[in-house]
């Protein structure tokens, strides 16, 4: 799930295609087609927390390069879990960390 989020495969409506067309840029269809990602019920809370924390990434400066993503701010994660009323915070955090790891894998390849 994290890889799909970080690679932009959320399937939401975007003006990306029209922007490419205006700029005369051709991109292979496999990079434009939205992908569906199945979410098992036991992972729904972790995904919801992850999506709610999408703006809470921590970055470290990189000498001579772009900042490097380190992960989600754990204080923000705890706050979101509390606001959402997540009951099993320990298990949700474990599942969230798997999603986060997938997202970091993609984000660090850029």
pLDDT tens-place string over residues 81-94: 999 999 999 999 99
Q: What is the pLDDT of residues 34-84, one digit of tens each?
A: 777 788 999 999 999 999 999 999 999 988 888 899 999 999 999 999 999
Range of the domain at 43: 2-107
In whole angstroms, give the CA distance from residue 87 to residue 13: 32
pLDDT grade for 9, boundaries at 50, 70 and 90: low
Angle between helical axes of 89-107 and 44-52 (0-180°, round to 10): 60
Of 8 and 39, the one with more pLDDT:
39
Residue 12 has pLDDT above 50, yes or no: no
The total domain count for the chain is 1
In whole angstroms, give the CA distance from residue 65 to residue 98: 26
């Amino acid at each position: 799930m994290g890889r799909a989020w970080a690679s932009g495969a959320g399937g939401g409506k975007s003006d990306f295609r029209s922007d490419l067309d205006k700029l005369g840029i051709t991109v292979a269809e496999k990079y434009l087609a939205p992908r569906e990602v199945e979410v098992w019920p036991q992972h729904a809370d972790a995904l919801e927390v992850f999506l709610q924390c999408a703006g809470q990434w921590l970055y470290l400066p990189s000498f001579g390069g772009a900042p490097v993503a380190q992960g989600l701010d754990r204080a923000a994660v705890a706050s979101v879990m509390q606001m959402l009323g997540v009951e099993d915070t320990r298990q949700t955090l474990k599942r969230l960390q798997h999603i986060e790891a997938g997202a970091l894998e993609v984000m660090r390849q850029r």
